[in-house]
Amino acid sequence: MPDDILIIVPLFNAEMHLHEFCSELQLHAQADILFIDDGSKDDTQIILKQLGYAYLSHHHNFGKGRALKTGMRYAVENNYKYVLTLDGDMQHPPKFIQHFLQKSAEDEIVIGYRSDYSVMPLHRRFSNIVTSLLISIRTGKHVMDSQCGFRLYPMNSCRCHDFIEDGFQFESEILIKSLIRGYGVSHVEIPTIYGTEKSSMRNIRDTLKFITMYFRSFFW
């Protein structure tokens, strides 16, 4: 595992899967780990304290993008070379972390790619296909799964101070800005996993926010 890597896990009301996730993480992640609790109302922070993990917390639920930016700011301040992000709801199995690290490069972002669409909800499947296509067209780079948050970033791609999105659109924003500035992209195939709990993505609202961000990107 490369030196100077920080694993960032954004959380919001994550108590349901947190023990299982942390057990898997211990087995497969020999690196520094930082959880970002984005205003959880359940026992997420209590569990993190019990398990002895480092975490930062927001007093309010600002959105996944804000949580990731908080973690990336910490990584910049502490001179990490890479940032690996994954969700704590078991949709991103920690056993695949090593596959991402094997592809690490200073000029390339590594993204998880879910190839089995059969278990993906129809609206998510459609949204993912469309956003991946639009980002590929915008950047000239082939992005296979723009909505997968299991990613490895070289730290220099996270040093920009002009990121404005706080919600799920942040992951599209950082991808577009990095790729049009010359970073490459590669992919690691991961399983398609969806739980029974309700997604925190709000389809219509988040789609409209993506469209707004996408058209704004032509003026960056």
**Is domain 5-219 given the CATH code 2.60.40.60 in the classification?**
no
Confidence of residue 159 (pLDDT cuts 50, 70, 90): confident
Q: What is the pLDDT of residues 15-42, one digit of tens each?
A: 999 999 999 999 999 899 999 999 999 9
DSSP string spanning the chain?
Answer: --SSEEEEEEESS-HHHHHHHHHHHHHH--SEEEEEEES-SSSHHHHHHHHT--EEEESS---HHHHHHHHHHHHHHTT-SEEEE--SSSSS-GGGHHHHHHT-BTTEEEEEEE--GGGS-HHHHHHHHHHHHHHHHHHSS--S-TT---EEEEGGGG--S-----STHHHHHHHHHHHHTT-EEEEEEE-----SSPPS--HHHHHHHHHHHHHHGGG-
Q: What is the pLDDT of residues 114-154, one digit of tens each?
A: 989 888 888 889 999 999 999 999 999 999 999 999 999 99
Please, what's the b/e burial string for 14-34 (b: 16 or more CB within 10 A of its CB; e: otherwise)? bbebbeebbebbeeebebebb
Domain ranges of the chain: 5-219
pTM, to two decimals? 0.93
Res 111 pLDDT > 70: yes
